[in-house]
């Protein structure tokens, strides 16, 4: 197990900067998830930690060793790739053993580790097969197996589940989480899927355009997003954002009415108010809004209502699964000032 | 056809469909027949010179150009052993010489060209694009243009009258065609394999040796086949560099049957020609399996 420390890490391709000075401390034994929209630099960052991509500036340390100039193989880490990258011409057993053979490990030790990994991942009966004879989920298991036989101090995952179908993805997510609990090794995991991030991470790093937007536990990110980007990126479905003006302890929500600004928050001028779909109450509230349902999404356990309100905005509202709403019905919604998130003109969290 | 007497109403849809299917099957059969006739005729035209050579290798000299028929009136099998020993040096030597030159050339070509291709496809080095362009430009220079400068070079090295001019360049990745062929093949192998191998502790050479090369057997086999054929049947190179009959390769030896004094032994020459193409066929049959196996392996994801 090892901590990973990134300080002022930069990357540019030619003149184009991709990563703009990242400072990040990954604690030993932590499951850290890097999440962000595509093109935000999360994979590049991971590949820089792995040693597959050179860094333009800054330092990366694994444990107390600065690894800037250390080749990937000497960083004592394993990586699981999106395409699995299993060696097609080798059997599963050889795929698992390949890295260990390169380390000139004794035969018995290799056999022991391969058997152990196969047992953990339940791929014992697949050991003699070639990768092309495996299903997607099995390939994924072998790829993870290849990572764990090395018993590294750090695991890196580059969108490992994105090639799997939805059902298998959920299953592998659970297996990865239990694998983490069993090994307790530091893991850095890249994904664009915020559900994966929320469910598996001990801490999440939200990246956008090569910068860190926020680092925190899933709970912190969901309940206290540092800015509008994180607020709308984390949480599914998305948070509702309304334009508003704050003056003298009151917030005037454009076209809808006024809310008292909670006393601990200070804001003046143009702000944004964010309310998650489940925080909008059906029925009157501190701010009561009348609207018309334009779309009903029935998910069984809950219903999502798209409600067009007087200001022209569409609010997404979560209602209990048993409720009977129909398109074009009028509806009354309420927003509570304590439930809402407030963001100033620059999109930063207020209070 | 009786269609005129049967009104459409009498025919059920199924019957119409059946009639249509039958007509279609008939047409398809006819088309297939035509296609096969055409292909068989074309193949015969293509293979005729070979058959003629085979037939001539079994005929006495006076029948080769005299007889119109392909089938020999009598089988003169002694053309074969006569041909084998017809020249001052036995064909055992010529075949051995050809084998040495060809085998070394194939090995040299496959190894050196795949090295060069790996460098171009996967490694970063300064001036890569310029080197690549230079290499591609050599593709456009005909062999005959470089022949004389090359001869002078080897003459100054004292290599004329040895096999070195035929073999050494093969170990120096001289054939841009093979390099290009392999670059194209390597490029389509996913880079993540290299990266996984890198993390698994492979040096660039080990990545080539353990990952890229085993996955590129089809490209390697193609290069080996072409390299074999071209070297085995190369006439100009040996003609320029080899002067002593003891050193002759098979194509040079075959030429020696045609003597300037007009007394040529055609039967034995054709017999030896038939023997000389057997290794090519054999090599092709063995190595084309690799090409097929390689195609079957390409389900990388």
Closest-CA residue of chain A to B192: A85
Its ipTM equals: 0.84
Assess if residue B50 is contained within a domain: yes
Percent of chain A topping pLDDT 70: 100
d(CA A147, CA A79): 6
Contacts of B214 in chain A (CB under 8 A): 89
Residue B65: inside a domain, yes or no?
Answer: no
Residue B62, in any domain of the structure: no
B201 and B238 assigned to the same domain = yes
Alpha carbon of A202: minimum distance to chain B alpha carbons (Å): 26
Shortest Cα distance from A153 to chain B (angstroms)?
A: 13
B52 plus B115 within the same structural domain: no
Could you give the CA distance from residue A17 to residue A3 in angstroms, rounded to a whole number? 26
A304 touches chain B (CB under 8 A): no
B22 and B116 in a single domain? The answer is no
3-state DSSP call for residue A276?
Answer: coil
Phi-psi category of residue A271: left, alpha or beta, with phi > 0 → left and psi -120 to 50 → alpha? beta
> Considering only alpha carbons, which residue of chain B is nearest residue A144?
B196
User: Looking at the structure, do residues B247 and B187 belong to the same domain, yes or no?
Assistant: yes
Q: How many Cβ pairs within 8 Å bridge chains A and B?
A: 60
State whether B121 and B45 are in the same domain. no
Q: How many domains does chain B have?
A: 2
* Number of Cβ atoms within 10 Å of the Cβ of B289: 11
In a domain, B246, yes or no: yes
CATH number at residue B157: 1.10.3720.10
* Partners of residue A83 in chain B, C-beta under 8 Å: 190, 192, 301
CB contact under 8 A, A85 and B211: no
- Same domain? For B282 and B142 the reply is yes
Contacts of B18 (CB under 8 A, 6+ apart): none
- The alpha carbon of residue B36 and the mean position of all alpha carbons in its chain are separated, in whole angstroms, by 26
Same-domain pairing of B129 and B163:
yes
Decide if B299 and A89 are in contact by the 8 Å CB cutoff.
no
Which chain B residues are Cβ-neighbours of A134 within 8 angstroms? Answer: none
Sign of the alpha-carbon torsion through A39, A41, A42, A43 = positive
Residue B89 lies in a domain: yes
A52 to B214: CB separation less than 8 angstroms, yes or no: no
**Pick among A14, A43, A74, A89 to test the B interface (most B CBs inside 10 A):** A89
| B246–chain A Cβ distance below 8 A for any pair | no
pLDDT in tens, A151-164: 999 999 999 998 88
Residue B218 with chain A: CB contacts under 8 Å = none
**Of the residues B56, B72, B99, the one at which a domain ends:** B56
Could you say which of B195, B201, B210 has the minimum Cβ distance to residue A85?
B195
Q: Please tell me the predicted confidence (pLDDT) of residue B301.
A: 43
Pick from A78, A82, A89: which is nearest to B215 by CB?
A89
Cα–Cα nearest to A196, from A19, A9, A8, A34: A34
**Entry pTM:** 0.80
CA dist B275 and B57 (Å) reads 10
CB contact under 8 A, B196 and A82: no
- Any domain includes B66: no
**pLDDT-flagged residues of chain B (< 70):** 1-11, 259-264, 292-301
Contact B196 A77 (CB under 8 A): no
B207 interfacial to chain A (CB closer than 8 Å): no
Segment A259-276, tens digit of pLDDT:
888 888 888 889 999 999
Chain A contact probe: residue of B189, B197, B199, B205 with most A CBs at under 10 A: B199
Q: Are both B223 and B181 inside the same structural domain?
A: yes
- In the prediction, which pLDDT does B59 show? 83
Angstrom distances, CA of residue A21 to CA of A38, A45, A66, A229, B293: 19, 11, 17, 19, 49
For residues A10 and A17, the answer to whether their CB atoms sit within 8 Å is yes
Interval A50-78 mean pLDDT: 91
**B98's tokens:** 């050809």
- Give the pLDDT score at B297: 52
Full residue range of the structural domain in which residue B20 is found: 3-56
CB < 8 Å to A87, chain B: 193, 196-197, 211
| Residue B188 included in any domain | yes
Give tens-digit pLDDT for A230-248.
Answer: 999 998 889 999 999 988 8
Tell me the chain B residues in contact with residue A102 when contact means C-beta distances shorter than 8 Å: 200-202, 206
Of residues A73, A78, A89, nearest to B214 (C-beta): A89
Q: Within an 8 Å CB–CB cutoff, is residue B193 touching chain A? A: yes
Considering only the beta carbons, identify the residue of A52, A73, A83 that sits closest to B301. Answer: A83
Here the tokens at position A328 are 């074009």
| A93-107: average pLDDT | 93
B14 shares a domain with B112? no
Residue contact A50–B199, C-beta within 8 A: yes
Would the pLDDT of A175 be above 70? yes
CA A292 to chain B, closest CA, distance in angstroms equals 49
pLDDT in tens, A328-348: 999 999 999 888 999 998 889
If one counts every other C-beta atom within 10 angstroms of the C-beta of residue A217, the result is 13
Read off the DSSP letter of residue A239.
Answer: P
User: Would residue B29 count as lying in a domain?
Assistant: yes
Q: Examine the pLDDT at A186 and tell me if it is beyond 60.
A: yes
Q: What are phi and psi of A60, to 5 degrees?
A: -120, 130
- Residue whose C-alpha is closest to residue B163's, from B258, B74, B99, B75: B99
Q: Does B190 touch chain A (CB under 8 A)?
A: yes
Same domain, B180 and B48: no
Residues 6+ apart with CB under 8 A from A124: A115, A118
Q: H-type helices in chain B, by residue range?
A: 13-56, 61-64, 78-84, 91-122, 128-138, 143-157, 164-167, 176-187, 191-199, 204-206, 213-215, 217-232, 236-241, 250-256, 266-297
Domain shared by B156 and B42, yes or no = no
Q: Answer yes or no: do A52 and B193 touch at CB < 8 A.
A: no
State whether B297 and A146 contact (CB < 8 Å).
Answer: no
Who has greater pLDDT, A258 or B63?
A258
How many degrees, rounded to 5, is the angle at CA A17 between CA A16 and CA A19?
150
Q: Do B193 and A87 touch (CB under 8 A)?
A: yes
Which of A50, A52, A88 has the CB atom closest to B297's CB atom? A88
Which of B190, B201, B297 is the closest to A73 by Cβ? B201
DSSP string, B149-216: HHHHHHHHHT-TTSSHHHHGGGGGT--HHHHHHHHHHHHTS-HHHHHHHHHTT--HHHIIIIIIHHHT
B98 and B39 inside one domain: no
B197 neighbourhood in chain A, CB within 8 Å: 87, 98
List the A154-158 sheet strands across, edge first: A77-80, A154-158, A186-191, A31-35, A203-208, A211-216
**Residue A4 confidence class, pLDDT cut points 50, 70, 90:** very high
- Is A86:B195 a contact under the CB 8 Å cutoff? no
CA–CA distance, B159 with B155 (Å, rounded to integer): 6
Cβ contact A11:A52 at 8 Å? no
A22-40, pLDDT tens digit by residue?
Answer: 999 999 999 999 999 988 9
- Tokens encoding A195: 């559900």
Asked if B196 lies within 8 A of A78 by C-beta distance, the reply is no
């Amino acid at each position: 197990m090892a901590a990973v420390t990134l300080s002022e890490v930069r990357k540019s391709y030619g003149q184009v900067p991709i990563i703009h000075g990242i400072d990040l401390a990954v604690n030993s034994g932590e499951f850290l998830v890097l999440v962000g929209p595509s093109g935000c630099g999360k994979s590049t960052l991971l590949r820089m930690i792995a040693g597959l991509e050179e860094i333009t500036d800054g330092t990366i340390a694994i444990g107390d060793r600065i690894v800037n100039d250390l080749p990937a193989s000497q960083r004592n880490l394993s990586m699981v790739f999106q395409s699995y990258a299993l060696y097609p011409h080798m059997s599963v057993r050889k795929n698992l053993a390949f890295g260990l053979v390169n380390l000139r490990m004794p035969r018995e030790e290799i056999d022991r580790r391969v058997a152990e990994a196969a047992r953990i991942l339940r791929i014992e009966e697949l050991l003699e097969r070639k990768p092309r004879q495996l299903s997607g989920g099995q390939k994924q298991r072998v790829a993870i197996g290849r990572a764990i036989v090395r018993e590294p101090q750090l695991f890196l995952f580059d969108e490992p589940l994105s090639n799997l179908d939805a059902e298998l993805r959920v299953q592998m997510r659970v297996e990865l989480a239990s694998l983490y609990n069993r090994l307790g090794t530091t893991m850095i995991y890249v994904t664009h899927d915020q559900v994966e991030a929320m469910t598996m991470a001990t801490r999440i790093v939200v990246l956008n355009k090569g910068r860190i937007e926020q680092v925190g536990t899933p709970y912190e990110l969901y309940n206290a997003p540092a800015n509008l980007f994180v607020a709308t990126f984390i949480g599914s479905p998305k948070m509702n954002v309304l334009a508003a003006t704050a003056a003298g302890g009151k917030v005037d929500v454009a076209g809808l009415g006024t809310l008292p600004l909670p006393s601990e928050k200070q804001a003046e001028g143009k702000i944004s108010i964010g309310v998650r779909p489940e925080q909008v109450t059906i029925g009157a509230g501190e701010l009561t809004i009348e609207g018309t349902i334009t779309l009903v999404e029935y998910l069984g356990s809950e219903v999502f209502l798209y409600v067009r309100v007087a200001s022209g905005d569409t609010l997404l509202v979560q209602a209990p699964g048993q409720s009977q709403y129909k398109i074009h019905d009028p509806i009354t919604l309420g927003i509570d000032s304590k439930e809402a998130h407030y963001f100033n003109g620059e999109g930063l969290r207020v209070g | 056809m009786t269609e005129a007497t049967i009104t459409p109403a009498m025919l059920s849809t199924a019957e119409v469909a059946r009639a249509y299917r039958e007509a279609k099957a008939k047409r398809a059969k006819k088309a297939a027949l035509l296609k096969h006739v055409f292909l068989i005729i074309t193949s015969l035209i293509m293979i005729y010179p070979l058959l003629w050579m085979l037939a001539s290798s079994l005929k006495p000299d006076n029948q080769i150009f005299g007889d119109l028929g392909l089938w020999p009136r009598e089988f003169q099998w002694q053309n074969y052993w006569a041909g084998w020993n017809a020249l001052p040096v036995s064909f055992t030597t010529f075949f051995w010489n050809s084998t040495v030159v060809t085998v070394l050339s194939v090995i040299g070509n496959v190894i050196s060209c795949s090295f060069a291709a790996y460098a171009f496809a996967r490694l970063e080095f300064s001036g890569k694009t310029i080197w690549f362009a230079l290499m591609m430009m050599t593709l456009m220079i005909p062999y005959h243009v470089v022949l004389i400068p090359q001869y002078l070079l080897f003459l100054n090295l004292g290599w004329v009258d040895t096999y070195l001019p035929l073999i050494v360049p093969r170990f120096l990745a001289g054939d841009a065609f093979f390099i290009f062929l392999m670059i194209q093949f390597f490029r389509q192998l996913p880079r993540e394999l290299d990266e996984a191998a890198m993390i698994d502790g492979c040096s660039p050479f080990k990545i080539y040796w353990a990952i890229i090369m085993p996955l590129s057997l089809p490209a390697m086999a193609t290069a080996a086949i072409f390299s074999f054929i071209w070297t085995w049947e190369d006439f100009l190179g040996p003609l320029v560099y080899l002067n002593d009959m003891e050193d002759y390769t098979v194509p040079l030896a075959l030429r020696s049957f045609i003597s300037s004094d007009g007394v040529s032994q055609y039967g034995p020459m054709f017999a030896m020609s038939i023997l000389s193409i057997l290794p090519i066929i054999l090599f092709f049959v063995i190595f084309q399996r690799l090409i097929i196996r390689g195609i079957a392996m390409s389900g990388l994801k």
